[in-house]
Structure 1
Amino acid sequence: QLEDPTLFDSAMYRGLQDYQESNGMNPDGVIGTLVAESLNKSPQDLIDIASINMERLRWMPALDWKKEMVLVNVANYQLDYLQNSDTTFSAKVIVGKEYNESPTFTAPMSYIVFSPYWNIPESITNEEIIPSLRKNSNYLAEKNMEVVNGSGEVVKATQVNLSKDQGYRVRQKPGGDNSLGLVKFMFPNEYNIYIHDTPARSLFEKETRALSHGCIRIQNPDQFAKILLNNSDWDDEKIQAAMNQQNEEVVELDRDIPVVILYMTFWADADGKANFRSDVYNRDAALLKALRSNKSGLDQA
């Protein structure tokens, strides 16, 4: 028993680090926002969170957990690659910002794009690029971007008005400063979400990683590519060369790999240990309210 439970000594520091690590936080020994939020949950709060996530599991399509799959838990900021019910690769991920949340769904991954172009969405062009161009006419060149027509042919930016002319779009050329990084992993879906590298790798050290426009950024993408290709022809040297070309290269996988995007703020691991994560998108309260209302036919929140 502690002589003074209010004294923050070295034993308390180590205990706090252990608590942070077991709850998916950076073990820095500092009582920050996530630690305070977690410690202030009552036993009933934890029971409610478990109930909410059991409901989420009920919504999931039937999955053969013994088969190969990619599992991303948005609330845990982590990607896991599973084979025969065993996790053989894990990586930190960055997910969508609160105002641009990453959705939950399943889709088959079918190909990889090395040294990709970034075809910039119209919303980002309108909200970010056009205003920047008005302030700086050299903005596109400085960001390694170019304008292309509907056929993918490069045109001079001065010849078109991006805010008025139809059929033109902006793309960022392959390279180390490309917003998609050096490789992207494609599982075509209605949300236009995919997994990709990022030049801003320092962001993986952040504790809360809801920072992207909606797609999923992955740490150590070269290792992930090597696992997915699963081919002796694709060694480390060849992958690095493919990731650092001037032109993008599409590589079809020899099989479709299910990608499962989840939002789980609670789960139990193989040893039965309870894992709780912060509800970064504030989805739990609405689902708990619906569960308590005893209404049938719940839609996914």
Structure 2
Amino acid sequence: MKKFYPVFLGVLIYIGCANNTNLDILTTDQNIANALKNEELLENWDIEENRNALLEAIRKCGDEGLFPEDYQYTELMKYEDAIILSPDQNEAYHKLLTIALIKYSSHLKNGKINPNEIYTDWEIKTKPIANDTIIEHILAKKQVDSLITESKPKHYIYNQLKKALVKLNSMPDEQFDTIKPKEKLYLGLKNSNTIAKIKKRLRFWGDLKPTDTLANKNFDENFKKGIINFQNRHGLEADGKIGIGTLKALNTSKETRKQQIIANLERWRWFPETLGENFLGVNLPDYKLQVVENNDTIKTYRVVVGRDKRKTPILSSKVDNIVFNPTWTVPPTIIKEDLIPDATKSRSYFYKTKIKIFNYKNEKIAPYSWKPEDALKYKYVQDPGYNNSLGLVKINFNNSHLVYMHDTNHRELFVNNYRALSSGCVRIEKPLPLAEYLLKDKLKKEYIKEEIVQKNKNKDSKPIYKKKLIEVPTYSLAEIDTIIQKKETKTVKVSQNFGVHFLYFTAWYDKDILQFRYDIYQYDSDLYLRLSNQFASNIVSSVRVENK
């Protein structure tokens, strides 16, 4: 990459400052309209180096999961290959180059598709792109390649996904039949044609070594290890058994996986340029929460996320506070679907669930006075405690969807492999150690006894102590347990600067191993069709979440 000139440093400063202002960010079309009026900018396309840099970048844009014809590559090359251009043709060519440069750099920066236009439950902020004045200077300094490089995401996962795309493109074309077992598959099965088909597929993906001959059609231990490798790469229960989920993944073609990677590359272009050094990252399809400190993952927790009809939104925020012993206000949908039917059968429902009823004046209503026909007029609040629907702790952060992370009274769900089971919020398997970690900077002073070392001490001497003042965590697990035992709601402000990112990626490439996850909200195929200009439809968003 060429050296960054001072003028390009100005681009970086501009973009960095724009991220911290309330100025309106111009759309791609607005930037194009301004640039086409800038005569000096257009004239700078007479510089051959600028044209070559852009044309080469567009030719190779498939490496980013984008498509050259979105930037009229064929038309551009016709102009470039022409021996002579008339003044009008030259002007048309320069305008086409300008449009291509702004569109391509914008697509690298923010993605080709605007997620805010197709989803109502994604909180994605548009990142600013260089305006026509900056592009004019970039062209004057012949820094097209630097603009394009700067526009690309710097995320590690994004760059690894590009390597995965190269890997898939280098793999041979498949010629596999769909695997439809006509027999029960089990360890010890011999001479099975289905085993031979599966083995061929496992060898193709690298889960079995090429030396494992296809002539061996037995379900032996080596074959089982290959299945386990495959299951681990797909987030499936790694039991070596071939169930519905494993068969579905085995029957997924290379082309589908390639499209999945391209869709994931696009989503990474939507995400913030940096997730920060310290954050809680939840990858919804992987059902995992990762605690990242100083850019290193130090802890991973299993989570339950929103089911398909109550999708967890995609967002970026900052941890605000932690609530111990939270109460839970029953949301409208659960009032209609669960509370009314159960309470109608027996008013004891309110005692069993420890839910209190309040009227519009916030006055408590006795369960025996409750009537189903008036049910929607009331507010229902569950007492804090171990069996509260939010469990023992709730982690709050600002967002427009009123979602949060919390403990749960359905702790048995964390053993499930498929965990898209909540009403929108993210449930954490072990939230108390996470709460302790987020509050670790809160310290209190405490005296401890410290023995004084005595010179010439004999065996009959009694130890002498002095008091020493030290700092200890205010919210250790022992102290948190004391708070929990009191069953009183307590809110503690989090002063550490910890981000929260709810992300959605179903493919990644780690240590030369392809990883895929089940597309729980069926986003991938829809997004790929949009990227490849094969799709035209309205918003594909989810139903509003229900705070649980």
Normalised by the length of structure 1, the TM-score is: 0.91
1:245 aligns with 486
Q: Which runs of 5+ in 1 are unaligned?
A: none
- 1:163 deviates by 4.9
AA aligned to 1:264 is F
1:230 aligns with 440
- 1:166 deviates by 6.8
C-alpha distance in structure 1 between counterparts of 2:506 and 2:330, whole Å? 32
Instruction: Note if contact 2:259-2:525 (Cα within 8 Å) is conserved in structure 1.
Output: no
C-alpha distance in structure 2 between counterparts of 1:278 and 1:219, whole Å? 21
Structure with the greater relative contact order (CA < 8 A, sep ≥ 6): 1 or 2?
1
- 1:58 deviates by 1.0
What does 1:39-54 correspond to in 2, within 5 Å?
39-54=250-265
- 1:171 deviates by 1.3
What is the SS of the residue equivalent to 1:254? coil
Change (3 A) 1:34 1:295: closer
What does 1:79-94 correspond to in 2, within 5 Å?
79-94=289-304
1:122 aligns with 332
Instruction: Note if contact 1:130-1:163 (Cα within 8 Å) is conserved in structure 2.
Output: no
AA aligned to 1:194 is Y
Percent identity for Structure 1 against Structure 2:
30
What is the SS of the residue equivalent to 1:185? strand
C-alpha distance in structure 2 between counterparts of 1:73 and 1:8, whole Å? 34
Does structure 1 residue 187 correspond to structure 2 residue 397?
yes
Q: Which string of whole-angstrom CA distances, capped at 9 and with x for unpartnered residues, describes residues 148-177 of structure 1?
A: 345655332344556537763111111121
C-alpha distance in structure 2 between counterparts of 1:151 and 1:229, whole Å? 36
C-alpha distance in structure 2 between counterparts of 1:157 and 1:175, whole Å? 20
Q: Which string of whole-angstrom CA distances, capped at 9 and with x for unpartnered residues, describes residues 137-156 of structure 1?
A: 21111111111345655332
What does 1:14-33 correspond to in 2, within 5 Å?
14-33=225-244
AA aligned to 1:286 is D
AA aligned to 1:261 is F
Normalised by the length of structure 2, the TM-score is: 0.51
Instruction: Note if contact 2:319-2:497 (Cα within 8 Å) is conserved in structure 1.
Output: yes
- 1:274 deviates by 2.7
1:274 aligns with 514
Instruction: Note if contact 1:174-1:245 (Cα within 8 Å) is conserved in structure 2.
Output: no
Does structure 1 residue 55 correspond to structure 2 residue 266?
yes
C-alpha distance in structure 1 between counterparts of 2:256 and 2:502, whole Å? 25
Instruction: Note if contact 1:122-1:169 (Cα within 8 Å) is conserved in structure 2.
Output: no
C-alpha distance in structure 1 between counterparts of 2:480 and 2:361, whole Å? 29
What does 1:93-112 correspond to in 2, within 5 Å?
93-112=303-322
- 1:27 deviates by 1.2
- 1:250 deviates by 0.7
Instruction: Note if contact 2:303-2:426 (Cα within 8 Å) is conserved in structure 1.
Output: yes
1:178 aligns with 388
- 1:299 deviates by 8.1
C-alpha distance in structure 1 between counterparts of 2:495 and 2:316, whole Å? 19
C-alpha distance in structure 1 between counterparts of 2:286 and 2:301, whole Å? 11
Q: Which string of whole-angstrom CA distances, capped at 9 and with x for unpartnered residues, describes residues 255-292 of structure 1?
A: 342111111111233x3533210111111111111011
2:152 aligns with none
What is the SS of the residue equivalent to 2:494? strand
C-alpha distance in structure 2 between counterparts of 1:151 and 1:69, whole Å? 41
AA aligned to 1:248 is T
What is the SS of the residue equivalent to 1:279? coil
CA RMSD of aligned residues (A): 2.3
What does 1:210-229 correspond to in 2, within 5 Å?
210-229=420-439
- Between stretches 153-162 and 133-142, larger displacement belongs to 153-162
What is the SS of the residue equivalent to 1:140? helix
Q: Which runs of 5+ in 2 are unaligned?
A: 1-210, 442-472, 542-548
Change (3 A) 1:2 1:274: closer
C-alpha distance in structure 1 between counterparts of 2:481 and 2:496, whole Å? 22
C-alpha distance in structure 2 between counterparts of 1:53 and 1:37, whole Å? 20
> Which structure shows the bigger proportion of residues in helix conformation?
2
> Aligned match of 1:287 in 527, 532, 537?
527
